[in-house]
Amino acid sequence: MSTDSNRNAANEAGASAFTARTGRHGLGVLQSKAAERPLVLPARRFIFVRHGETAGNFQRILQHAGIELNETGIEQAHQVADLLGGSGAQRIVASTVQRAWQTAGIVSAALGIEALAEPLLRERSFGDLIGSSSRDLDWAADPPNGETVDQFLVRTQAGLTAALQDSRPTVVIAHGGTLYVLAYSLGLKLEEGMIRNATPLLFEPAGSGWAMQRIGSEVLPRGSNIGW
């Protein structure tokens, strides 16, 4: 089988796996709501990076805002920085949640670009569910003392619009939930590997919409986490 055939087969498998995830975790509700509020972005080209791995990711628990990267996450962040060295990025905008801001700090130092803080890019607040397992998380349900789906969607879209209001090539560093909103708001389909920690994704205009692809993600160290 050719390299292209292997790649296509892997992409199809990843898409099928993510379709199963969408149904299992109630992401279809977020997807449909985001599709009703499509984003119009001034940015012409940008890169999205989910933060590096944390102990909470490794343990598959819903984590508080102050948790830091673990050793794997720090290594991932440095390797993302190496990958983005020739990307032509001119701006870095990041969530103020510690795990994303720490990832941004590592990338910022390597690229020589000051990271800009955007609080609206913070991960969804899961309220009383913080500290519990994320394995059976239902994104369609409203967590006690947390954000509803609608609140999270509207806030995150506002954060993405603010982060990408500049046409210069931008790196956005945030969260898995942020990526869901971004992809769904642009009418794009995610694959299983795209949601992993520290996987850089390139977004570029394609026809009347957008295209999304991974950047060298196979070289990054991987923990056990896929998702939150």
Q: Tell me whether strands 91-94 and 115-117 are parallel, antiparallel or unpaired.
A: parallel
Query: Residue 15's pLDDT is what?
Result: 53
Q: By C-alpha distance, which of 85, 135, 126 is closest to 108?
A: 85
Q: Is the dihedral of CA 81, 95, 170, 51 positive or negative?
A: positive
Residue 4 reports pLDDT greater than 70: no
Distance separating alpha carbons of residues 201 and 92, to the nearest angstrom: 14
**Residue 16 — pLDDT band, cuts 50, 70, 90?**
low
Query: Residue 222's pLDDT is what?
Result: 47
* First-to-final CA distance of the chain: 34
Q: By C-alpha distance, which of 48, 44, 73, 87 is closest to 171?
A: 48
Q: Is 126 exposed, middle or buried (0-12, 13-18, 19+ CB in 10 A)?
A: buried
Q: What is the pLDDT of residues 145-203, one digit of tens each?
A: 999 999 999 999 999 999 999 999 999 999 999 999 999 999 999 998 899 999 999 99
Cα 128 to Cα 18, 40, 119, 142, distances in angstroms: 27, 34, 21, 11
Distance separating alpha carbons of residues 149 and 177, to the nearest angstrom: 11
